[in-house]
Structure 1
């Protein structure tokens, strides 16, 4: 699905977090969003998901974005005394899609009959991802999808993102692991102090990675004695 964002602004009191975001997201494309902590990534995602009121417009080619959006948050919320299986069924019911065959579709081998709150950080992330996948959404926001997962699950998530792209879905990813963005994204947007300062294609990913390393490291290690 295609999504158009124009003049998106968000403030918390006197703190202006998003300062006029203009972006286009197209079907069958994977987009990355990078920025320092506090740049406004999570606020931007929350605005897209309809969790935060904002100024500016978000339009889609058909229907309402929130009705076709799968939002994997950095730390998904799990109600108490709800098993993994019940959590998946709840998400399916919200989109009125069948919830049969959950064991067969449990690609992460999660203990679905255990309470979700007892899961490890990585298991919670995988359960949250599986839930939004089962909903058959058209637009996916994946906020740190690789956070806390093991290497094998990371490879599986990478392949899932590629499959979503192949199915014509639209995917927006935030990740602190730049290599995962290089492997999956068609375009990377750089968010800095509430503004999109760069939009980078595949041919410039290496340059962007170099710039990010140079900024993050600089000469900070010179004074450190190993």
Structure 2
């Protein structure tokens, strides 16, 4: 289990996260939703150890970073590394021996091509493949469906369901609410760096309606369209 207590993060005078308390259990899929700037990515970066923060993040094992696969919204790739070399690099970082990488290329990526030349969706699929092959216990997926084709979205959804079956901990952010409703056990709503609501599956439709009313209908009314 991952336990987050009084997590806060500031950049200068700007408070990005404010006293967040969360628990993430094994075998569960959690969604984090909120408008741009709500603090979702910063929260993920803190959990992953990429940011300094105030508060406490604990994990059943000693070092969460050694068990965590992070999929960033825009994964970074060295300019002269092929898709196959990237997968091998991430496997080496976990001391995982891989054979027949081509057979594990479920997204049919051009693995001999430089990853930096991939499209946005291809980069995301490559990064996801690499962290899956690391055999991690925790997965943080920041907008995994964004910029990815429909067929791949279906595959990613099934991957998340399989990770849950394998008792992994999965934390996802997405602007596509339906993808979260299909996979998540609980969804947390973030606003201005705080968790303002926790919703379980039975109330997902209600949360979606509330979000639409708040973020869409009221804004459109301000245009006074006629």
Q: Normalised by the shorter chain, which TM-score bucket?
A: over 0.9
Partners of 2:70 and 2:60 lie apart in 1 by 19
Counterpart in the other structure of 1:213 = 212
Runs of 4+ that moved beyond 2 A? 219-225
Partners of 2:45 and 2:200 lie apart in 1 by 25
Counterpart in the other structure of 1:48 = 47
Q: Using structure 1 for the length normalisation, give the TM-score.
A: 0.97
Q: Does the C-alpha gap of structure 1 residues 21 and 109 become closer, same or farther in structure 2, counting only changes over 3 Å?
A: same
Mark the runs of 5 or more structure 1 residues left unpaired by the alignment.
none
Q: Deviation of residue 34 (structure 1)?
A: 0.5
Counterpart in the other structure of 1:58 = 57
Mark the runs of 5 or more structure 2 residues left unpaired by the alignment.
none
Secondary structure (helix, strand or coil) at the match of 2:108 reads: coil
Q: Deviation of residue 182 (structure 1)?
A: 0.3
Q: Deviation of residue 122 (structure 1)?
A: 0.5
Partners of 1:4 and 1:128 lie apart in 2 by 26
Secondary structure (helix, strand or coil) at the match of 1:221 reads: helix
| Residue-pair matches, total | 224
Partners of 1:221 and 1:43 lie apart in 2 by 29
Q: Using structure 2 for the length normalisation, give the TM-score.
A: 0.97
Please provide the CA RMSD for this pair. Answer: 0.9
Q: Deviation of residue 219 (structure 1)?
A: 4.1
Partners of 2:187 and 2:218 lie apart in 1 by 26
Secondary structure (helix, strand or coil) at the match of 1:200 reads: strand
Counterpart in the other structure of 1:163 = 162
